[in-house]
Amino acid sequence: MKQQEGQRSVKKYIVLFILLVLVVTFIVLKGADIESVWNAMKNADPKWLTAGLGLAAVFNIAEGINLRKVLVSFGYRVSFKEAMKYAYIGYFFSSVTPSATGGQPLQLYAMSKDKIHVAHGTMALLTELTSFQIAAFLMENIAAFWILTGRIHLNKIMLILALVGYIMNLVFIAALMIVIISDRLKRKIVKGIRFLVMKLPFRHKEKMESKINDILHDFENCKDFFKKDPNLTLQVIGVSLVQIICWFSVPWAVYHAMGEAGSTFGSLFLHQIILYMTTALLPFPGAEGISEFSFVKLFAGMFSSVPVAAVVLVNRGISFYFLLILSGILGVVLGRFNGRSADQSGTKYKLQQETENGTGKILT
């Protein structure tokens, strides 16, 4: 019954996502000369378009590499093909569901079918997400420096969106650092949050407190992993940096594909970082609508010889829709490969049930 309900929810989200895409496309093209837009897209340089597709494809490949690295460290014999299956499934379902909530549950389901324990699968996904956020935050600090020094000027709306995105990621990184560095400070902060939850007029306070405990447990597991194998941690973060750099370089390829000249790689790259800051943490499926809006606000002045609507469609087509279609197809194709077993004798971490509260904990 639950599986059928889950399938219905996924289908509903996909239909809603398609409708949202159609609405956003209509808004982008509204008032534009369709013939000029089509001609600009048709005349785009295929070599640079191919380069853009290659840069975008690195996004999923990097996630697959990181998931494989972490799962192998737990002793599982995971092939690159299997790791890519998890990456493609995650990308597709994260893209079509609000706040990217659909990806990780289905990734864990795919892993469980391959006999990967849910605790190890969760740890792999959490580590990959954390390394990505760390890499993104490093880039965001570069963009923040350029904004604060006046080298990049943003209007009020874009500045607020970028600030919100930066603060949200800062809170995530700060929470992780607190858990890693100081148990005493962590306990004080958690105690303060719980006090606020109980005093303020929130509904479902017990559910909120349970959520806080779950988040804290995730951070603890991440801390244990990072401290246990720092070399692997650096490797995973390094892969995430390559992932971010390639993904944020797509506008540079699109810029040249559309026949433009004058703006440097650094300028295009920095504006893409800001675009990510304005959209990454908003609860829209695939950041639909807000991505197109932010792209126009940030990049319109850089593209002078072609309609901005054409640029939006090409850039979004490469950096998002291409990956979405690729993930959907390869997720299904690679999903046919199951039945791998874990190498129990090589497992570095064992799952121990805690008798006090019945939760699992990763221990050496």
The series of mean pLDDT values per 10 residues for the chain, 364 residues long, is 56 76 78 83 94 96 95 89 93 80 82 86 86 92 90 86 88 74 64 61 63 64 70 92 96 94 91 88 65 84 87 92 92 72 42 40 40
Examine residue 35 and state whether it is found in any structural domain, yes or no.
Answer: yes
Residue 139 included in any domain: yes
Query: Could you tell me which residues come within 8 angstroms of residue 299 by beta carbon, excluding any fewer than 6 positions away?
Result: 251, 268, 271, 275, 308, 311, 315
The pTM of this model reads: 0.79
How many domains does one find in the chain? 1
Quick one: DSSP state of residue 205? H
Q: Which amino acid is at 328?
A: G
Distance CA 252, CA 275 (A): 14
- Whether 88 contacts 330, CB under 8 Å: yes
> Is 222 inside any structural domain?
yes
Q: Check residue 188 and give its pLDDT.
A: 65
Rg (CA), the chain: 22
Q: Does residue 295 form part of some domain?
A: yes
- On whether residue 163 sits in a domain, the answer given is yes
Range of the domain at 251: 2-338
pLDDT on residue 325: 93
What is the DSSP annotation of 138-186? Answer: HHHHHHHHHHHTTSS---HHHHHHHHHHHHHHHHHHHHHHHHHH-HHHH
Q: Distances from the Cα of 63 to the Cαs of 46, 67, 82, 122, 242, in angstroms?
A: 27, 6, 12, 14, 11
Residues near 223 by Cβ (< 8 Å), separated by ≥ 6?
176, 179, 180
Asked, for residue 88, whether it belongs to a domain, the answer is yes
pLDDT of residue 287: 66
Residue 350 in any domain: the answer is: no
Closest by CA to 162, choosing from 181, 179, 139, 189, is 139
Instruction: Please report whether residue 278 resides in a domain.
Output: yes
